[in-house]
A and B are shown apart, each in its own frame.
Chain A
Amino acid sequence: MSGFNKVVNSYEEALEGFKDDMTVMIGGFGLCGIPEGLIEQVYKMGNKGLTAISNNAGVDGFGLGKWLEKRQISTMIGSYVGENELFEKLLLSGEMEVILTPQGTLAEKIRAGGAGIPAFFTATGFGTKVAEGKETRNIDGRDYVLEPSLTADFALVKAWKADTMGNLIFNKTAMNFNPMMATAGKITVAEVEEIVEPGELDPNFIHTPGIYVQRVIKGDSFEKRIEQRTVKA
Chain B
Amino acid sequence: MALSREQIAMRVAQELEDGFYVNLGIGIPTLVANYVPKGVSVMMQSENGLLGMGEFPTEETIDPDLINAGKQTVTAATGAAFFSSAESFAMIRGGHVDLTVLGAFEVDQEGNIASWMIPGKLVKGMGGAMDLVAGAENIIVTMTHANKHGQSKILKKCTLPLTGAQCIKHVITELALMEIKDGAFHLVERAPGVSVEEIKEKTEADLVIPDHVPEMNV
Please tell me if the beta carbons of A29 and B85 are within 8 angstroms of each other in the complex: yes
Contact B84 A124, beta carbon cutoff 8 Å: no
Q: Is B48 an interface residue (CB 8 A)?
A: yes
| Chain A residue with Cβ nearest B126 | A102
Least Cβ distance of B102 to chain A in Å? 13
Q: Which of A140-181 contact B (CB under 8 A)?
A: 160, 170-180
Q: Are A32 and B85 in contact (CB under 8 A)?
A: no
Chain A binding site: helix, strand, loop or mixed by DSSP? Answer: loop
Give every chain B residue within 8 A of A111 (Cβ-Cβ): 86
Give 1 or 0 for each of A107-136: 1 = CB within 8 Å of chain B CB: 110110000000000111111111000000
Report yes or no: A176 in contact with B163, Cβ–Cβ below 8 A: no
How far apart sit A7 and B183, CA to CA, in the bound complex (Å)?
61
Q: Is B78 interfacial (CB-CB < 8 Å)?
A: no
19-78 of chain A: CB within 8 A of chain B: 29-33, 55, 78
Known A126-B134, A231-B62: A173·B67 in contact at CB below 8 Å: yes
Nearest CB of chain B from residue A150's CB, rounded to whole Å: 12
Residue in chain A with minimal CB distance to B133: A124
* Bound form: Cα–Cα A131–B21 in Å: 29
Contacts of B166 in A (CB 8 A): 127
Contact B125 A174 (CB under 8 A): no
Q: Which of A31, A55, A172, A173 has the most CB of B within 10 A?
A: A173
Stretch touching chain B among A80-88, A194-202, A213-221: A80-88
A178/B84 contact (C-beta < 8 A), A29-B67, A79-B125, A103-B89 known: yes
Does chain A have a CB within 8 A of B135? yes
Complex formed: what's the CA distance from A92 to B93 in Å?
32
The residue in A102, A122, A130 that gathers the most chain B C-beta atoms within 10 A of its C-beta is: A102
Tell me whether A32 and B48 are in contact (CB under 8 A): yes
Assembled-state Cα–Cα distance A230/B123 (Å): 26
Residue numbers of B with Cβ under 8 A of A are 46-50, 55-59, 62-74, 76, 82-86, 88-89, 92-93, 112, 117, 122-131, 134-135, 161-166
A-B contact pairs, 16 of them (CB 8 A): A32-B65, A32-B67, A103-B127, A103-B128, A123-B134, A124-B131, A127-B166, A128-B163, A129-B117, A173-B82, A174-B64, A175-B82, A176-B84, A227-B67, A228-B70, A232-B55
User: A103-B127, A128-B165, A172-B50 known; 14 other A-B pairs, CB under 8 Å?
Assistant: A88-B122, A100-B123, A102-B128, A104-B47, A104-B88, A108-B86, A124-B135, A125-B134, A126-B165, A171-B65, A172-B82, A176-B48, A177-B84, A232-B57
Residues of A within 8 A of B (CB): 29-33, 55, 78-83, 88, 91-92, 100, 102-108, 110-111, 122-130, 160, 170-180, 207, 224-233
